[in-house]
Structure 1
């Protein structure tokens, strides 16, 4: 299954398995772990060499996530957004400005790499020395790439019970982000139908 940095960033807010919501960027330790877990995925967008993970950078990543999730909510509209933060979304106009400003922090020049006998691929050349700035700008550019791509049209908020994830539909009939969410949703529907039938059958109904 294809992965996108913007979707991975948005998915740092997730169901915790116990009926609540977990935040993979809540602490400096967990944010550092998330960045290193995404190293391979981010390689095409961000150079992590020299990164200095501190509270300021963690806060910047969290704020960028807020912007991305607000724009994800706009992308899935008029369907409802993720329940995790539907009540406190950053205004879409503010989110757009924040995302563009973050991407603009690093001046880059597109580069074409074409190894002999290999496939051409694009990269970027940057004069930015601060690895933290490169990270934020790279994550923002990845979000811009995603939101301006055909995948945006397939973006959905999973509506299974307890799930708060966004996902990209991989086939036309997909309703949930993963099979376990589909199982929960079907079980919940069965439970509701059973209760409704039982209520109708009660004396006096």
Structure 2
């Protein structure tokens, strides 16, 4: 199996795209889990809302094989996110049907390898040298490969230790912990969790 190694790209971009991909599985606000990537149209909408995913994202189109490839990367990412938050509990959205870790690693690495890339050195006058990657000559950008590389970059980068799963009522999000006392992905989730705890205490003392 290929080994996942560190990415030489933008850590912030990797974090944003990796998290946003995972969050295409979300709570629908009505007690169920929604999936934004159920058909090619959903994938097109998502990519066009994330213009850094591939070149010319505004003109991106998708078919069923492209959708299936991205969904595989997402499944691998969510399985590895679940591993990353241990000993905490994973997102309840798919906690009972996560890919085995070795399978997730294999799928992610295989997807990342589909588009050969080359390092490109940038060195602006007011900054240090930066290495980025781009498709090798003749290679076509592959969305699933780009997403897989972003997930790898996130998992090997400095933000991974801050990854948490939000367990507030009706939430299935992963998020980055911003300060030591943060338990929830956003204040509204904290409010719901406190209300739920209050009601539970009242029931126990009634």
- TM-score, normalization by structure 2: 0.86
Match of 1:89 in 2: 98
| Contact 2:115-2:140 within 8 A present in 1 as well | no
Q: CA deviation at 1:116?
A: 3.7
Deviations along 1:23-73, one digit per CA (max 9) or x if unpaired, are 110122111101111114x3xxx3246744111101111111000000001
Match of 2:154 in 1: 146
Q: CA deviation at 1:195?
A: 1.2
Match of 1:65 in 2: 74
More helix by share: 1
Match of 1:20 in 2: 32
Structure ID, larger Rg: 1
Q: 1:113 aligns with which of 101, 105, 122?
A: 122
Structure 1 stretches of 5 or more lacking a match? 199-205
Q: CA deviation at 1:82?
A: 0.6
Structure 2 stretches of 5 or more lacking a match? 1-11
Match of 2:23 in 1: 11
Three-state SS of the structure 2 residue aligned to 1:30 is: helix
Q: 2:196 aligns with which of 164, 184, 188?
A: 188
CA distance in 2, matches of 1:163, 1:154: 18
Q: 1:39 aligns with which of 32, 40, 51?
A: 51
Which protein, 1 or 2, shows the higher relative CO under an 8 Å CA cutoff with sep ≥ 6? 2
Q: CA deviation at 1:81?
A: 0.7
Deviations along 1:99-150, one digit per CA (max 9) or x if unpaired, are 111111111111111234456443223225333x2x2111111101110112
Q: CA deviation at 1:21?
A: 0.9
Query: Which one is further off, 163-172 or 22-31?
Result: 22-31
Residues matched between the structures, number: 191
